[in-house]
Amino acid sequence: MNQATLATNQQTVIGRTSIVAANIAVTLTAGSANIDLSSATIPRNYQGHLIRVWDTGGKKIEGFVGGDGTGTVQKVYSTKALTTQNWAAQMAGFDDTTNCTYEIVKVYNAVVVASGSIAASAAQLSLVDGTAFANPSGLDLSPYGDGRHMLALYNTSGNYAAIGFIKAAGTGETLGSELLTSWTNDGTNGYETFTTSGTDITDAANTSGTANCYFGQAVTIGQLIKHVINNYTLNQANIVYRFGFAVTLPIAEVNWSIDIAGTHYTTFTATATRYLGFRAYTAGAGNFSASGMSFKFVTGPSATGVTIVNAKGGTTYNWMYKHASFDPNLAMTYKVLFVGD
């Protein structure tokens, strides 16, 4: 939106000050627009705000405060998105060699600086109050971890949303302790044999429909869980085993119906308060085995993820808004919005 079209109720004047000619210098050239007020804080502490300057003849220039230049020079951009280093408006004959007056203006419009899509099961979100973060697979959000951006996520089905302020970039994925210590076999629902050695499953034979195998670790809705498995084998391709929530599924985040050689992992966000485990989801007889299983809560994002807070500059790691029907494991779109200082 061009500054000239902004309604007055979308702006707040932060301050207005006179400055002598010796303390101001501007560059009006398109592509290298900047301003120097001989100050390390003004307008540097107001990135994303508008700066207006009048010379003694009443000629005006204005633009959005952006990145730091050399010394006390501050780059100026034509829009709040801070993409084009031009002045937004400049009157012919403006003269910065005279004494000037400038004002800093806060503009209340958040602009979209990045957007795209996130595949199902790839968002890797923690929706738990106190540990909110986003760590989408294949998407680097770290450039926006400066306290001046918001993240908005929308399910492509139903358009339900989760929205929060980006606090900072992650410092490396952190995991909680191992949750898997022993298995419980729900033998009444079809398992004929079931053998384990530590976290390994050496043999599990399903004789009929939807058998459950789980361990007694209930989860909190919104927790991000990392599941690791090695050398998974299944001798009936028409049998689907679902890893994630066991015991009265229907919610299941990972479907495996083929052999997997080597280490494989997946992450999913809990959408129900149930036990962790696996289930033979389709009817029929089949055997499978798996080694090196692990379930751990993800407690912090990787270096390409970001922490989320519920207010700009806040310290409460909650989402500002999350719809009760927002599903963190479904496909979604995202927007990163620049809100400024």
The tens-digit pLDDT sequence of the chain (341 residues) is 333 333 334 788 999 999 999 999 999 999 999 999 999 999 999 988 999 999 999 999 999 999 899 999 999 999 988 889 999 999 999 999 999 999 999 888 888 999 999 998 789 999 989 999 999 999 999 999 999 999 999 998 878 999 999 999 999 999 998 887 776 666 555 544 455 556 666 655 555 555 566 665 667 778 888 877 776 666 555 455 555 554 443 333 444 444 444 455 566 676 666 666 666 655 555 566 677 777 888 999 999 999 999 998 999 999 999 998 898 888 999 999 998 87
Q: Is residue 94 part of a domain?
A: yes
161 and 237 together in one domain:
no
Q: Tell me the residue range of the domain where 310 lies.
A: 111-173+301-338
> pTM of the entire structure?
0.68
13 and 58 together in one domain:
yes
Tell me the C-alpha distance between 21 and 18, whole Å: 10
Please give the pLDDT value at position 52: 96
Please give the pLDDT value at position 253: 40
Tokens 């993800």 identify what position?
A: 298
Please give the pLDDT value at position 11: 85
Please give the pLDDT value at position 295: 80
Q: Is residue 242 part of a domain?
A: yes
Q: Please check whether residue 107 is in contact with residue 26, taking contact to mean a CB–CB distance below 8 angstroms.
A: no
Tell me the C-alpha distance between 62 and 39, whole Å: 18
Please give the pLDDT value at position 110: 84
85 and 167 together in one domain:
no
Count up the domains in the chain and report the number: 3
165 and 189 together in one domain:
no
Tell me the C-alpha distance between 110 and 150, whole Å: 9
Please give the pLDDT value at position 81: 83
Q: Is residue 179 part of a domain?
A: no
Please give the pLDDT value at position 284: 55
275 and 251 together in one domain:
yes
CA-based nearest residue to 52, from 26, 29, 73: 26
* CATH number of domain containing 271: 2.60.120.260
Please give the pLDDT value at position 10: 76
Please give the pLDDT value at position 304: 97
End position of a domain, from candidates 84, 107, 130: 107
